[in-house]
Amino acid sequence: MTSSTSTSSFRLGIAGMALVVAGIVVSGCGVNPQPTGYGDQYEENFMLGCTGIDPDTGEVPNGGEVLAPEDDCVCIYDNLEEKVPFDEAKEFEEQQAEAESGQDIEIPDNIAAIIDDCTSSSGDS
C-alpha cells in the first residue's frame, strides 16, 4: 500500500508541476496574452510544462529532464478540457504558481482523478 501511495503522489506531483510550468510559461510571455479558455496556446504551454519538451525544437530546454510521458500528458489535457471547467483549472494553476517552493498543494478531486486515471493506465502495459 505504501508504494501505491508513493506512486500516486509521484503522479500528482508530475501533473502538478505541469500546471505550474504551464502557468509560468504563459504568464512570462509578454507576446502571448493569458489564455481565457482551453485552446492551442494553453495546450502547447501545458504540454511543455507536463513533458518538459519544447514543442518547437523537440528538446528539453536548459538541460532539464523529461518530466512525464507525452501520452500521459495528452490524456490529462484532453480530460481536463472535457471534464474540468477552464476557470477551475486556471484557479488551480494560479494556486500552484503562488505557492512557495516545496509547499504541498491540494489538488482538487476531479483533477486528481484525471491525473491518476491517465498515469496509472500507462503503467499497466
How many residues make up the chain in this entry?
125
Higher per-residue confidence, 29 vs 67: 67
Cα 9–39–85 angle (5° rounding)?
55
Question: pTM of the full predicted structure?
Answer: 0.69
44-100: per-residue pLDDT in tens? 888 888 888 888 888 888 778 888 899 999 999 999 999 999 999 988 888 877 877
